[in-house]
Structure 1
Amino acid sequence: MSAETYRDAWGIPHLRADTPHELARAQGRVTARDRAWQLEVERHRAQGTSASFLGPEALSWDRLARRARLADTARRCFAALERKDPETAAWVRAYADGVNEGLTGTGRPNPAPEFARTGLAPGRWDPWTPLGVWLATHILFAGFPAKLWREHIATHLGPEAVALFAADGPGTAGSNGWLVSGERTTTGHALIAGDPHRFIEDPGVYQQIHLSCPEFDVVGLAVPGVPGVAHFGHTGTVAWAITNAMADYQDLYRERLRRTGAGVEALGPDGTWHRAARHTETIHVAGEDTVEVEIIETDRGPVIAGGPEGLDDGTPAALSLRYPPRVTADLGFGALLPLLRARRVADVDRALDAWAEPVNVVQAADTEGGLLHRVAGRVPVRPAANGLRP
């Protein structure tokens, strides 16, 4: 047996294979058949090439994706995964291979009607693409958009007005999670429920799936484009669910940049000028001329707004973004296979020690009465002032 696929009365795929790698390939293949257009859109988002078929309205995202170095960060993370965890890297590669098979399989030149309407052909997935999809999906989950908003309010209305227009914190946004021990239920077993507050999308951000091989048997919600079951899963003896921890793990820095004959320099905290990495990239825009984007990265991180000449409105400013995967070359994919193999809450707990992005609150329970409530992810230690504004 290489891989078998069975669909129940609701169309939910149940996959069985001899090995985790064959199973990942089958998961990629069935996801491509069920969510082909969604995968194409997410691949373009990760690459910063959405405007090439969505037009000018997608240009702002492509600028951010390019300037924040999302695709380059995903490549770095996959390269590090190959060095440190070759088993997981091969598993991710098998998933990407399955996606390519599902998108271009015999008799399926256009696996979704959107391809015919747009005249596009499905693009090829690289081994790092699942990491890029994961990063692009979650880059706005953390603190830097709120910091930009606070800066905007403080600049125009004064610092005292920031609290009046808070876009985060208690009473503004978040997720819900419940974990009830067996002592409080009629069955004597724990009750667990996770309620992440996600945008309403069609198709949704999750895909119900059943993954089975001799090493594990898991039902749960997968993220299309990413192998395994990361956020909500049940292995038969242990289940887990997540909510957003609303953690602050991204920093914005005000940069002072200047052009020199050799490129761009950034003023460092030591008071001296340091060479910044710089190059340009071209964004193709459907129905319009191409757009050149200058990519600058300082020792703090990629410059996502402004530059040596300031912002687009002439304001003399430049902001760089520092986020953990860019610094550590780790998106936490090393947790995914151990999660599938988990049998008790202790296994889930150990697996989540490798979790990186995004930072989540996790609830888990097992059939032996074990309970787990923890935060999983990587939050850098730095001054409290970093959590408010650039």
Structure 2
Amino acid sequence: MRKDKNCCVLMISGVKRYKLLDNIVKCGIECEQIQDRNEMLFISTHTSNIKRIERLAAKYGSVTQLQDKHISIRRRLIKNVMLHSGLVVGIVISIILCSVFSHMILRINIENDSEQVRADILSVLDENGLHIGSFKDGFDYVKLERELKRKVNGISWVGISEQGSTLVIDTIDNIPKPVSDNKRLPCNVVALHDCVVDKAEVFCGDLNVKIGSGVRAGDILISGERKKLISSGKDNKETEVTQYMRASGRVYGTFEKQAEFFFPYEQCINTPTGKEITVNYLNIFDADIPLFIRDIEGTYTYNAIREPVSVFGIELPVAITKVEYSEYTEAINTFTDEQIDEKIESSIRNYETELLTGYEIKDLKKTVSRADDGVTVKLIYTLYGEIGEQADIYLNKE
């Protein structure tokens, strides 16, 4: 018999249910399926045959009950779901994760070729709490664009947009300004220090100070501005004209330079013990979950290496951080007066080598003050050398 979507199932119970079944067959009532289970007959037939079967059942003292086929299907469905509960849970979790990830930033795409610019942009975003794994809601992109333009060197424009779970940052680099040729600008030679002028060699311009006189830092030593009278017209009327030039020359002088150093008697020194421990952390969003059980005791320096997890090129808000700990011990090192004196002499030599090269040291006054916590050294140098530098003259164009 062909299956019909209008079929139903009758449950028949009673002592004479087999006689009833024999009469159903004799009466030519078509049945799709007949089953005998638990002293009950289950007859699947068309809904138009229900009344005829019920009349026959009443004749033989049997009880009929209509079974809802849809309930049976739902029960079988629930049973199948329970047998595959792991798959169902996985599907539910996947739907939840997709819903959560759709509101999160899983990738940041910065349209710029400079590694430094990209690093600076990521640093500014991180300062504002925006990074991979952040929820997209609650960020003012206009404000972020202004802050990026203000803090990141090398860009003149920045735009932020969203493409699904990807944050796209477009930038326009600064147009480099043309390098001006300062060699063509007029300039003066000015003093670098408060000093006494001892010697001058003028190549271009006019000497503006007297040998043996004192000057202040910033005073003009060689002037690039020269004024002269020019006669013009039939009456030879004189007019003052200012000429500008690029002053050059060497001016030597004597000046003082001061320095001060402090050397404590006690100093904390970290000494490595050679013990190293490497552990891993699971980073999910902003949470660091340790993947180890043991406690790390002691004093350590550490180096962390973060390895993000990506799927199909999309960086997920999950990473493994490898942390390498190096143990060290702290000790207080106490210095004697002799050791302090050696450090003082070494520091003075380094200072003179690094900062006073090119100058002649004519005199040195050293004052040493000893206290309970350390020694303070004040140095006053009398130096001789070149004291001038060129400073451009900027003219107003009228």
Q: TM-score range by the shorter chain?
A: under 0.3
Structure having the higher strand fraction is 2
Q: Give the TM-score of the pair, scaled to structure 2.
A: 0.19
Structure having the higher helix fraction is 1
Q: Which has the higher contact order (CA 8 A, sep 6+)?
A: 1
